[in-house]
Structure 1
Amino acid sequence: MHHANHYYGHSRILARYCGLDDGDSPRIHGYLQHGWNIGDGMAPDHDFVPGVPLLVWSERTRRRAWSLGRHTAYALGAPWAYLLTMMPDDTTELRRGTIWYPFHGWEGQDVLGDHSRLIAQIQLTEPGPVTICLYWQEYQSRRLRHRYEQAGFRVICHGYRGDRWGNQDPEFLYRQLREQRRHLRVASNRLSTAVFYGTLAGCEPAVYGDPMQLERENPVYGGQARIRREWPDLHGEQIDVAVARAAAVAELGADRLLDPAEMRWLLRWPTEKADR
């Protein structure tokens, strides 16, 4: 199985939904989308075997993949959307404040930007307590964490996404969901997976501030310019919640979730635990 299928515990969430052992999920036949993007759903730095199915989140993404010549793409819905069906929001805790996700780098590229200016804008914009959620790579920087803490923000990290079949963290999305449900708002300086996740989980979204840059950033499929053109209503300090939720449902495929039997058939999984 491609190692990216395990990122953020995706394969285990789908196994749990299908009634299988989520501690040792079966091999997925295909490449599972692990983050939102405006292309075919796959990471542009990964190599793929032609003909192997692309398992994308939404019908919009499937159509984009088809237009790019990827005719073996199937829409099944984001694992996040399935997690929400398995963990209904039954808390009585009042949501407070904002969870803010600064745009981050990754193992192959650092992010370049003015965090001091971003901090100042967050302080001017957010009325309630603010939780800053850093990607693990930025969280490891004691200096960067301290800058946000000095501003009076609570600073957290959801965990490590996993890498090359090792260092897996199946609790990542569970922690993210618990945190988002504590907050009234979700915000970032780029329209991103976390913003769509938070919107679907009931947060009021916002996208504002310096979008920052990745080192050697490749504006694949049109980059930030295209995102702002295509989703202008999803940018700003205050966003229409109904519009944002409709977009989140469409981009995460929450309107076309499969039932467990359909999911097992698509992923070529056994029908029961005893069959393994």
Structure 2
Amino acid sequence: MESQNHFYGHSAAFAVYAGRPRPRHIHGLVQHGWTAVSPVQTHFRDFPKVGLDAGSRRRLLVWSHESRAWDPREERHTTTPVGAQFAYLARAAGPTPKPRDERDEVVLMPVHGIQTQRVRGDHAGLARLWREQEGPATACLYAADAADPDILGAYTGAGHRVVVLGERMDAEFLWRLWTMLGRARRVVSNRLSTPVLYGGHLGADLGVYGDALRIDGESDAMNQRVRQTWPELHGQHLDPATAGPVVDRELGVQHLLPPGELERLLGWRGLGPAIPATEFWTTSVVSRAVINLRRRADAPAAPPAATEEAPTGLAFGPWLRAAMSYLPRPLPRTLPAAGQLVEPIEVRPAAWAG
């Protein structure tokens, strides 16, 4: 019913696990990344009526009911745990690929911004620290960050290979991530985040250290809470025996379903997808337009430079690009096979335009 269900190839991962040739529209909303607070209050906050009726087919599907981030019993909304989309793709894919060279063995996943919120701080210092501690590595940037010359230059200047996984509506996004993390001996980030959990699930050594940087509109209180809530998932070298079970609980591995039951909860049987497909092309467009207008009014402003006056709100250009990314588009008619290697997109500073 909503474009966020298809972010990062998530519906595509469900499809290949279920043996389907293409994704379908989903009855309800699906969590689309790890969150350090309740997904009801983050990923689903724009649709407050979904999940209030426990008997409705329009469900809120979350990764885990055993995450430390939240207690589902404290929510007014009914949620159903199904596990992370990446875990389904990994289960369907089978053995992970082998590294091709030294830089495949260490993957850097710095915290990313989005079109409407930039990551600020000493990117070059972080890239140099990781070069000193990890050696030459593959730095995976979010597309919006790779389009920023300062961020891109920080990593290429430190001697890292820079790749992106595509835009968030790219159905092959998760395949590229599986290919990259599957080759990695070690996955490193400056914050506990979704790809860190994915790397741990695939068996990589983990490191979460370095300058956490700052995203527009956030305070350090949340970062401190994350460090206090998941202390064993922070540090330069994490203990696999301790981190592994925590990672899998956060991803909801214990909730993974057989294909038939997953299809039932997604509403993929019979004519089930027809209703959310109709909504996707009609009412969801209007709903999303209203949401985006409200978000622009409420958006956190970037901090002014010393010589600037305080900004009054989010600039129109970034807001429009972000709003356009939610517009409905046809779902892919074909998908890569489970276990098929789809290479991340290498970024060269002179050629990359985002």
In the alignment, does 2:255 pair up with 1:253? no
- Uncovered stretches (5+) of structure 1, i.e. residues with no partner: 162-167
Bigger-Rg structure (1/2):
2
2:345 counterpart residue number: none
Q: Report the TM-score, using the length of structure 1 for normalisation.
A: 0.87
In 2, the alpha carbon distance for the partners of 1:154 and 1:65 equals 40
Give SS of 2:222's match. helix
Aligned partner of 2:10 in structure 1 is 10
The answer to whether the Cα contact below 8 Å between 1:62 and 1:74 also exists between their aligned partners in 2 is: no
User: Which of 117-126 and 258-267 deviates more?
Assistant: 117-126
2:106 matches 1:108: no
Partner of 1:82: 88
Aligned partners of 2:98 and 2:183 also within 8 Å: no
TM-fit CA distance, 1:3: 1.1
Structure 1 pair 105–93 and aligned structure 2 pair: CA distance change class (3 A): closer
Distance 1:49 1:145, change over 3 A: same
Q: Which deviates more from structure 2 when the two are superposed, residues 70-79 or residues 116-125?
A: 116-125
Equivalent residue, structure 1, for 2:65: 59
In structure 2, stretches of 5+ residues that fail to align are 52-58, 275-354
Match of 2:29 among 3, 28, 31: 31
Q: Is the 8 A contact 2:37 2:69 kept in 1?
A: no
Shift in alpha-carbon separation, 1:230–1:63, aligned structure 2, 3 A: closer
CA contact (8 A) 2:126 2:210 kept: yes
Q: Please point out which of 125, 129, 134 is paired with 2:133.
A: 125
What's the CA shift string for 1:79-121, capped at 9, x where partnerless?
A: 0000001111254557853100111111221111111221232
Contact 2:96 2:182 in 1 (8 A): no
Deviation for aligned residue 1:254: 1.2
Contact 1:261 1:271 in 2 (8 A): no
Shift of 1:223: 1.5
Query: What is the CA-CA distance between 1:18 and the residue it aligns to?
Result: 1.9
Q: Does the C-alpha gap of structure 1 residues 90 and 141 become closer, same or farther in structure 2, counting only changes over 3 Å?
A: closer
| CA distance in structure 2 between the aligned counterparts of 1:43 and 1:172, rounded to whole angstroms | 25
**Which residue identity is paired with 1:188?**
S
Quote the RMSD (CA, aligned, Å): 2.5
Amino acid across the alignment from 2:167: Y
In the TM superposition, structure 1's runs of 4+ consecutive aligned residues that sit over 4 Å from their partners are 92-96
How many residue pairs get aligned? The number is: 264
Percent of aligned positions with the same letter in both sequences?
38
Between the aligned partners of 1:48 and 1:156, the Cα distance in structure 2 is: 34
Letter in 2 for 1:110: R
Instruction: Tell me the amino acid that sits aligned with residue 240 of structure 1.
Output: D
